[in-house]
A and B are shown apart, each in its own frame.
Chain A
Amino acid sequence: EVQLVESGGGLVQPGRSLKLSCLASGFTFSNYGMNWIRQAPGKGLEWVASISSSSSYIYYADTVKGRFTISRDNAKNTLYLQMTSLRSEDTALYYCARRPGLAYWGQGTLVTVSS
């Protein structure tokens, strides 16, 4: 069974940093591209970043470019999102999701940016 388990969320002050993790199991992690997608409270889905299976291709939404870094460790079956210079508008539930088709999603980890 495919499982994606996010962690690392929490309350953080504006301008500070936070690193999210997504632990994958039930499939060969190194074969699949991955995404981070977020959902602000009561709002819709917003794609944040993508990374290919071998980390050769990485893309970011304009809203996070230069502040967030997506990475992965295939030996540890783990996807990461390093978030810096956090803003109040980054407050959201952050999901990791597997390609193709975003067929599998984790349960999400909540990031709250507030002073």
Chain B
Amino acid sequence: DIVMTQAPLSVSVTPGESASISCRSSKSLLHSNGITYVYWYLQKPGKSPQLLIYRMSNLASGVPDRFSGSGSETDFTLKISRVEAEDVGIYYCGQLLENPTFGAGTKLELK
């Protein structure tokens, strides 16, 4: 199985500041079709996970453009610009190149 390693496990951010979350995969997530199959999800307190970023850098429908995804074949970053109160929750990276696996999650809190 592909192992997804996230860092940090928690981050505390002042509203209006930026935050970055890293994710590393144990295997390249770049398919021969040119698509990198890494995804980012946010699980708000008491809610189901919601898709934020698909295929490494594409914003899901309805997601504010304060969120962005980038990376290479094995190293990925989720950046949140101008953090707001509604961004609080646990962020998971996941890979869908093979049977899905997820990182352990990064808990984002406000200072």
Contact = CB atoms under 8 A, between A and B. Distances in A.
Interface string B33-57: 0000001010000001111001100
Contact of B102 (A44, A59, A105, A106): A44
A86 interface: no
B48 A107 contact: yes
Interface residues of A, number: 19
B48 to A, nearest CB: 4
Contact of B49 (A50, A61, A105): A105
A95 B51 CA distance: 14
A32 B16 CA distance: 39
B48 A105 contact: yes
B35 to A, nearest CB: 11
A50 B55 CA distance: 19
B51 A101 contact: yes
Say which size band chain B's interface belongs to.
10 to 19
Interface string A92-115: 000100001111111110000000
A59 to B, nearest CB: 5
Nearest to A46: B102
A46 B99 CA distance: 11
Contacts of B101: 47
Which one of B94, B100, B103, B104 has the greatest number of beta carbons of chain A within 10 Å? Answer: B100
Contacts of B41: 45, 102
B42 to A, nearest CB: 11
B96 A101 contact: yes
Interface string A69-83: 000000000000000
Interface string B6-22: 00000000000000000
Nearest to A108: B48
Interface of A: 35, 37, 44-47, 50, 59, 61, 95, 100-108
